[in-house]
């Protein structure tokens, strides 16, 4: 028991094993949330609602096969499609984003395929056309939480998230915005393919209705993705501490960010302290705050959003 306790308290466990386990748990939990949003809400709607990424493309292909060729590809199609189509995208993630990011994405893709095609679906009572708005909003909410939450922990739900992450890393753009541009085209394609024809649900729905509800889904998902995922938003952090040298060494070697030191004095206590100023990517905040608490629990920390950063500031891969 003492050995287990010592191992848990060890530096190796805290810096390597625990963060990795946290990411794996995060990708599992957020993929389940994402999958429920698609299967229980979007797929249950009488009005065709399209998710983003590879599953959304799979929905388009499936519906096109039904409308154009009267071929029902069956309930397992989406899962198989997700697995096959993600292979080249995983290669892009491996060489263009990071190895760990891609491995975590692979875990998500496998779980996502299982949820979309093999897990039981709970009937939420949203089959009617009158419930399409609720299905779009609730499904979009869960999809945004799933995709954004996975990205926040340095993972992804795979597919076009990897493409968006790759472009975001290269250009510094919002992942949610990039995903929205990619996904709006799917809404329009879905409207053109199924609109005014008998779809898989057996109903005839106009293309305008399909596009409108899918755009609502996209807006909700985009907002939630950007709320959850903050890798390419920046923060300036002021840390007032009485143990600056130890804390600076930890920041330099564990967060890998440069710092600026300013001597300050407490107006009430008259004690001299040091203000540590550092600019970080927002996803690094949790690591920085944990580090400060370990070194100086009495430190005073203030964060502020930063719109742009110029100069020697490295954008890092998120995992």
Query: What are 91-102's pLDDT values in tens digits?
Result: 877 887 678 777
d(CA 176, CA 149): 12
Residues 224 and 238 in one domain: no
Give first-to-last CA distance, the chain, whole Å: 32
Residues 164 and 288 in one domain: no
Q: What is the mean pLDDT of residues 233-256?
A: 88
* Boundary of a domain, candidates 175, 206, 228: 228
Read out DSSP for 22-71?
Answer: HHHHHHHHHHHHHHHIIIIIITT-SS----SHHHHHHHHHHHHHHHHH--
Residues 244 and 192 in one domain: no
The residues, ordered by sequence, that sit 6+ positions from 180 with a Cβ below 8 Å of its Cβ are 218, 219, 222
Number of domains in the chain: 2
- pTM exceeds 0.85: no
Please return the burial class of 225, using the count of CB atoms within 10 Å of its CB with bins 0-12, 13-18 and 19+.
Answer: buried
Residues 49 and 127 in one domain: yes
Provide the pLDDT confidence category of residue 38 given band limits of 50, 70 and 90.
very high
pLDDT at residue 319 is higher than 70: no
Residues 20 and 49 in one domain: yes
Provide the pLDDT confidence category of residue 87 given band limits of 50, 70 and 90.
confident
Q: How far is CA 64 from the centre of its chain?
A: 29
Provide the pLDDT confidence category of residue 60 given band limits of 50, 70 and 90.
very high
Residue 81 lies in a domain: yes
The percent of residues above 70 in pLDDT, for the chain, comes to 84
Residues 214 and 247 in one domain: no
pLDDT at residue 11 is higher than 70: no
Q: CATH number, domain at 243? A: 3.30.70.120
Question: Which of 67-71, 127-131, 280-284 bottoms out in mean pLDDT, i.e. has the lowest?
Answer: 280-284
DSSP, res 94: H
Residue 72 lies in a domain: yes
Query: Bigger pLDDT: 41 or 160?
Result: 41
Residue 283's domain comprises 234-306
The residues, ordered by sequence, that sit 6+ positions from 297 with a Cβ below 8 Å of its Cβ are none
Residues 25 and 72 in one domain: yes
Residue 167 lies in a domain: yes
């Amino acid at each position: 028991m003492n050995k287990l306790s010592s191992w848990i308290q060890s530096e190796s466990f805290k810096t390597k094993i625990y963060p990795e386990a946290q990411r794996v748990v995060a990708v599992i939990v957020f993929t389940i949330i994402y999958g429920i949003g698609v299967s229980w809400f979007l797929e249950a709607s009488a009005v065709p609602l399209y998710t983003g990424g590879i599953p959304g493309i799979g929905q388009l292909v499936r519906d096109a096969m039904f409308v154009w060729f009267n071929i029902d590809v069956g309930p397992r199609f989406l899962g198989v499609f997700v697995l096959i189509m993600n292979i080249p995208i995983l290669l892009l993630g491996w060489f263009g984003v990071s190895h760990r990011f891609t491995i975590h994405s692979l875990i998500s893709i496998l779980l996502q395929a299982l949820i979309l095609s093999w897990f039981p679906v709970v009937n939420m009572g949203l089959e009617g056309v009158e419930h399409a708005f609720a299905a779009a909003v609730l499904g979009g909410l869960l999809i945004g939480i799933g995709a954004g939450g996975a990205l926040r922990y340095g993972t992804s739900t795979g597919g076009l998230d990897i493409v968006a992450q790759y472009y975001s890393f290269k250009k510094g753009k919002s992942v949610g915005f990039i995903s929205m541009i990619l996904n709006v085209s799917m809404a329009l394609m879905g409207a053109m393919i199924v609109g005014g024809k008998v779809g898989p649900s057996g109903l005839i729905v106009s293309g305008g209705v399909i596009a409108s509800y899918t755009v609502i889904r996209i807006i909700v998902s985009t907002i939630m993705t950007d709320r959850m995922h903050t890798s390419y938003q920046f923060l300036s952090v002021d840390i007032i501490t009485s143990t600056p040298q130890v804390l600076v060494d930890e920041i330099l070697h564990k967060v890998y960010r440069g710092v600026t030191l300013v001597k300050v004095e407490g107006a009430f206590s008259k004690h001299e302290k040091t203000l540590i100023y550092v600019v970080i990517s927002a996803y690094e905040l949790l690591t920085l705050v944990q580090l400060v608490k370990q070194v100086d629990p009495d430190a005073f920390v203030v964060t502020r959003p930063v719109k742009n950063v110029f100069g020697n500031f490295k954008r890092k891969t998120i995992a």
